[in-house]
Amino acid sequence: MRNSKTAITFWGTRGSIPSPGKDKSKYGGNTSCVEVKLPNNQLIILDAGTGIRELGKALLHREKEVRAYIFLSHYHWDHIQGLPYFAPAYNAGNTLTILGAKHPKFPLENIFSSQMESIHFPVKSSSLSAHISFNQLSLGNHCVADTEVKIIRVNHPGINFSYALNVDGKKLVYMTDNEILPRITNAKSHIAYEREKFVRFIQGADMLIHDAQYTDREYRIKKGWGHSAWKETVKLAVEGEAKHLVLFHHDPDHSDAVIDSFLKECREQIKKQKSPMKCSGAMEGKTVTV
Ligand SMILES: [Zn+2]
Ligand SMILES: [Zn+2]
């Protein structure tokens, strides 16, 4: 049966390293993983951080046969480390397609299997009985799961992709681990060009899931680490006229109370900019629709 809306469930919202704890129970401690259940019933998974473990269990419970497209933004631990714990990968009859940037030195398949070498993990990748294939992506437009997918590279150490999905005419942009540099007046500079590129890419998004890891003070200390101060994230989202901004890749040191206070300030900033944009914080276990 066809659903009318796309359901987006956050299984991992945290950046850098899992950070469980009583003070993080609202927004969650697992690293990046977002489930996108399309109206055509196809399944797209954005990143395979530790959140993918619980998603795997839910899928085995829910589906007779799991067919999923797993898009990796990049290959830092917090975006791939859950893959060996993704239970559907161990069952014959399931079909998984893993997609990510073509790396000049490391084939995607090796990136996946190397974290299951005996020095790191007790089970060999050859034990995975599901049909697993790999698709090394380049920039531009693609069609996956009968869905139009656009890709650009974002500002993060190494190669990191942002994905814009066109789901039944709705635009969903997943842009994590992106360091937005403050707007500058020199319109010819590389920084200005890159910012314009991001604004165009997110333009009119029905939902923008974006890195908002730091306060301004933290950003000053961690400049160049590839993450954004939330104020810049809000500015970019407003410039791009996104309809709903979801703050994502929460810092492992930020408690629920800290994220709540960010959100309050974000909403005030949005109001000041006279934008109708909605803003929320990605919350582990929560489903939203577009
Ligand atoms: Zn990350
Ligand atoms: Zn990263």
Per-residue pLDDT 10s for the chain (290 aa) are 566 899 999 999 999 999 999 999 999 999 999 999 999 899 999 999 999 999 999 999 999 999 999 999 999 999 999 999 999 999 999 999 999 999 999 999 999 999 999 999 999 999 999 999 999 999 999 999 999 999 999 999 999 999 999 998 999 999 999 999 887 766 677 877 889 999 999 999 999 999 999 999 999 999 999 999 999 999 999 999 999 999 999 999 999 999 999 999 999 999 999 999 999 999 999 999 99
Provide the domain limits for residue 254: 7-289
Centre of ligand 1 to C-alpha 71, Å, is: 14
For the chain, the distance separating the N- and C-terminal CA atoms, rounded to the nearest angstrom, is 18
In a domain, 1, yes or no: no
How many residues in total does the chain contain? Answer: 290
Which parts of the chain are beta strand (E)?
7-12, 33-37, 43-46, 67-71, 95-101, 131-137, 140-144, 147-153, 161-167, 170-175, 207-211, 244-248, 278-281, 287-289
Q: How far is the CA of 224 from the centre of ligand 1 (A)?
A: 14
CATH of the domain at 182: 3.60.15.10
Token pair in block for residue 272 = 């000041």
- Within a domain: residue 186? yes
Task: Measure 3 CA to ligand 2 centroid, in angstroms.
Answer: 33
Q: What is this structure's pTM? A: 0.96
274 Cα: distance to centroid of ligand 1 (angstroms): 31
- Ligand 2: centre distance to CA 131 (Å): 28
How many domains would you assign to the chain?
Answer: 1
In a domain, 18, yes or no: yes
CA of 50 to the centre of ligand 2 (A): 14
CA–CA dist 131, 219 (Å, integer): 42
Do the domain assignments include residue 211? yes
74 CA distance to ligand 2 centroid (A)? 7
